[in-house]
Amino acid sequence: MRNWEPSGITACFLLSLACKRSVAYSLSTDRTFAALERDKKAVDEMIRLLIGSLLLLTSFCPIVVGQDAAAPVAETADAAAIAATPAPETPPPAVSTLNSGDQAWVLASAAFVLLMTPGLAFFYGGLVGRKNVLSILMQCFVCMGVITVLWVTVGYSMFYGDDVLYGFCGNPMQHFLLEGITTTQAFQPVPNVPLGISQQTFMVFQMMFAIITPGLIIGAFAERMKFVSFTLFIALWSLLVYCPVAHWVWFGPSNFPFNLGSFSAKDAVPEGALDFAGGTVVHINAGIAALVACLMIGPRRGYPHQITPPHNLPFAVLGAGLLWFGWFGFNGGSAFGATPQAVQAFVTTQVAAATAGLLWSIIEMVRNGKPTALGMITGVVAGLVGITPAAGFVDVKGALIIGAGATIISYIFVAYVKPALKYDDSLDVFGVHGMAGIFGALATGFLATGEFGVDRQGGSMAQFMLQLKAVVTTIIYSGVVTFILLKVIDLAIGLRCTEDSEKMGLDLSDHAETAYTIS
């Protein structure tokens, strides 16, 4: 906006004054001689003022014109000065270490692992009698609901929070309702070693493991445990057994006896007991709990001579297929990225499962003359369990050995040990998950490749002893605490359904519905 000079303001004032006097003069009509004389003087004064005003305007106009001409120059000069002024320094944006490929693979793997729980429901559901299939499906889906809620409240904190109680578990309130667990900050197994996935991606991936682990135990007491008792048991077991054991193996507390596993402070490579995807945390843990549960609840009505055969083997085969598919996320996702180790885990998972299923069928042919679909899928699951602790730590030769060994040890316990000891592990959770998990965990101590193990020398007796320590610790802790939990629940509300409920079937007695309607 233009700034007027004082001379211009004065000129305008004088002009306005002159005009007013001129108008006053022209409107005067009642004249006398004296008035005429006064008017004459006024006219003279007006003329002088007009002449003065004109002179002032003459001197003012060059100033205004000069200002108009100089304004663009001044504005240009101001713009140049502004452009020449250095902009204030802003800190560079924080460099994110998140990798979209790693994020996508681990999130997809989490979905694969979640799919394993419905797969487990079909696998177990096909192996029980038709009056109890819905109860199995319901129990598996309840695991998905109960554990998810517990996990986002206190479960994840107990698993991956800072040590409390001398390293027994993580601080339950540290990440209450996922406080501080973001989608943008990178997950760091150890300080200053960020991975390509976010904290929340790691959290949700681990949630799926927490969901399926208590679900595995269902097979040990199928067809005879009350639904309310089951729901209370899995909630307590998840918090008091699963979360602490996972903390000991995968978080890395430093205090004895909880210091089972850890990560290298240099590059986050696993140290101590090697458990790539849950041989100890998931399968041994659940397998031992299953053995304790079936012993405490007791055998099914009519066991071992009058038990109901599997009502729908195609369901069981479908479930095994879903489990096999989901296991690629279970093991492959445990590399926490789309990395060469993920590819290694993917390949060894397939090789071990195929080897185990094939060998089980061969054993049945030799022993019974004919292979069975049930034997094939049982062998596949045994191989998948066996390779779980080793998937990212061994090569193909190791996968072949573990697959074959897992089948042999599981077959011995299913076909010989269980009938001899007469415990009713209904769907062979201990014989397959427990024993194949133990074999795979111990075999990892000898078969790990050179990038891992004590002093990164691969398999050795020293590494085997670390594996053995983790296995024994898990067996003792899981067995003792599972016994205590079941005993308390039994005293409070009872564990086993009534005899009438067992005869009727849990589908009707617990859920008031049936799987099949005959019209």
CATH number, domain at 475? 1.10.3430.10
Q: What is the pLDDT of residue 83?
A: 45
Domain presence at residue 99: no
Q: Are 208 and 340 found together in one domain?
A: yes
Domain presence at residue 89: no
Q: Are 248 and 355 found together in one domain?
A: yes
For the stretch 474-480, contacts whose Cβ atoms lie closer than 8 Å and that sit 24 or more positions apart, written own/partner, are: 474/245, 474/280, 474/281, 474/284, 474/285, 474/288, 475/284, 475/288, 477/241, 477/244, 477/245, 478/241, 478/245, 478/284, 478/285, 478/288, 478/289, 478/292, 479/288, 479/289, 479/291, 479/292
Q: Are 280 and 409 found together in one domain?
A: yes
Domain presence at residue 469: yes
Q: Could you tell me which of 201, 192, 186 has the C-alpha nearest to residue 98? A: 186
| The total number of structural domains that make up the chain | 2
Domain presence at residue 383: yes
Residue 161 has pLDDT above 90, yes or no: yes
Residue 316 has pLDDT above 80, yes or no: yes
Q: Which of 25-39, 251-265, 461-475 has the lowest mean pLDDT?
A: 25-39
Q: Are 155 and 240 found together in one domain?
A: yes
What number of CA atoms fall less than 13 Å from residue 378's CA on the CB side? 29
What number of CA atoms fall less than 13 Å from residue 507's CA on the CB side? 15
Please give the structure tokens belonging to residue 437.
Answer: 């998990």
Range of the domain at 30: 6-82
Please give the structure tokens belonging to residue 65.
Answer: 């014109």
Q: What is the pLDDT of residue 91?
A: 54
Q: What is the pLDDT of residue 264?
A: 85
Domain presence at residue 322: yes
CA distances from 268 to 151, 178, 196, 273 (A): 24, 23, 13, 14
Q: What are phi and psi of 97, to 5 degrees?
A: -95, 0
Domain presence at residue 517: no
Q: Are 489 and 389 found together in one domain?
A: yes
Q: What is the pLDDT of residue 306?
A: 83
% residues pLDDT > 70 (the chain): 81
Q: What is the pLDDT of residue 13?
A: 39
Q: What is the pLDDT of residue 45?
A: 56
Question: Quick one: pLDDT band at residue 147, thresholds 50, 70, 90?
Answer: very high
Residue 104 has pLDDT above 90, yes or no: yes
Residue 22 has pLDDT above 70, yes or no: no
Domain presence at residue 87: no
Q: Are 476 and 418 found together in one domain?
A: yes
Domain ends where: 33, 61, 82? Answer: 82
Q: Are 153 and 71 found together in one domain?
A: no
Q: Are 73 and 121 found together in one domain?
A: no
Q: Are 66 and 126 found together in one domain?
A: no
All residues at 6 or more sequence positions from 108 whose CB lies less than 8 Å from its CB, including other chains: 329, 333
Are the C-beta atoms of residues 386 and 402 closer than 8 Å to each other?
yes
Residue 366 has pLDDT above 60, yes or no: yes
Q: Are 45 and 122 found together in one domain?
A: no
Q: Are 54 and 136 found together in one domain?
A: no
Length reported for the chain: 519
Q: Are 288 and 415 found together in one domain?
A: yes
Q: Which amino acid does the sequence have at 360?
A: W
Residue 270 has pLDDT above 80, yes or no: yes
Q: Which of 64-68, 292-296, 349-353 has the lowest mean pLDDT?
A: 64-68
How much is the mean pLDDT over the chain? 86
Domain presence at residue 504: yes
Unique residue bearing structure tokens 């006398």: 32
Residue 58 has pLDDT above 60, yes or no: no
Residue 271 belongs to what H/E stretch? Answer: strand 270-272
Across residues 481-493, what is the average pLDDT? 98
Q: What is the pLDDT of residue 23?
A: 37
